[in-house]
Amino acid sequence: MSVWAARAAAAERAVHTRHLRWLWSLPSTRLGGINWPAGPSMHWHYWWQAHLLDCTVDAYHRAPTQWRRDTTAALVRGVRVRNVTGWVNDYYDDIAWMGLALQRGATLAGIRKPGAEQAIMRRLRFGRGPSGGMRWRVGDDFVNVPATGPAAIFYARRGNLGIAASLVDWILEHLIDPSTGLIFDGARVNSDGSVRTVERALYSYCQGVLLGACVELGTATGEPRWWQQVDATVHAVAEHLTDGGVLRGHGGGDGGLFTGILARYLTVAAVARPAAPSGKIAARLVLDSAEAAWRTRGVADGGPVFGPQWTVAAQPPSPGRPERDLSVQLSGWMLLEAAAVLSRRPELC
């Protein structure tokens, strides 16, 4: 076992020990508790569960065991039961993330839910606004990258390349920051599809899903423009979203997941472009960030605790601290799984 595989396994154990629980005491179900130590809350954060599922698939892919596969299957069942009415909700970003996790569960662990993927695809059809991008939620005029990007990856992996390309083209047409080359969060659109205002926040996960979509399209079509965009985005991230070569965090709550997602798709880009300068830069960003996160980790029941900013020492999880959030711990776990993937590619290390 490599050093990074061992560290990823430690992060896996920590999340399982502190956050994984049965859903309503039902057998063969699991769900991620949103914080630890646990407190009273009715929230369960559908999209956090999607990334927890993605991380369990990462772990199974790293070291396939029946226990890991059973845990992944129990999470899938837990999400379906907890969502009560089916696989979808009113947030297109939520269901696109879940679609990606289910696709990977089918491909890498053999846990197939074709009905779930079909339900997600049907709902996503109604999410495309008149502008060509994906709405954030049902009935909203906000079209954003956190919905459009994962939907594009989802469609590309299903072979719907025309839809995937049109989604990415909308992002590239409307949301590139000319001063940095990074992608803005989204835009408010009018009923005729014209853009009214641009939400100019720059989030790490927006860059990640653009990378992921462009890699899928470049691999499937061979068109140079997708690889050119991958190269440009990796360089923009390296220049503008790092501190001393370490990927920059976005705090707790939902923001706790943002940079782990970027690390995932930087790894996808590195593996797809091992001979290109951008591939080596992407790999170095992930490995340096993983080294920093491990160096600044804390320790609690079950294993390591990660902070929201990987250059700053993690604090003990407690009320009001981002270290308490499942999202922050998933981001650290995701990062270490990404480093474990790269450690198996000596040309990138």
For the chain, 349 residues long, give each residue's pLDDT as a single digit of tens.
Answer: 799 999 999 999 999 999 999 999 999 999 999 999 998 777 999 999 999 999 999 999 999 999 999 999 999 999 999 999 999 999 999 999 999 999 999 999 999 999 999 999 999 999 997 778 999 999 999 999 999 999 999 999 999 999 999 999 999 999 999 999 999 999 999 999 999 999 999 999 999 999 999 999 999 999 999 999 999 999 999 999 999 999 999 999 999 999 999 999 999 999 999 999 999 999 999 999 999 999 999 999 999 999 999 999 999 999 999 999 999 999 999 999 999 999 999 999 8
Contacts 24+ apart (CB under 8 A), 270-275: 270/342, 270/345, 270/348, 271/341, 271/342, 271/345, 271/348, 272/215, 272/218, 272/219, 272/230, 273/227, 273/230, 273/231, 274/345, 274/347, 274/348, 275/347
Contact at 8 Å (CB) between 207 and 188? no
Q: Which structural domain, as residue segments, surrounds residue 149?
A: 3-348
- CATH code at position 183: 1.50.10.20
Whether the model pTM is above 0.95: yes
Number of structural domains the chain divides into? 1
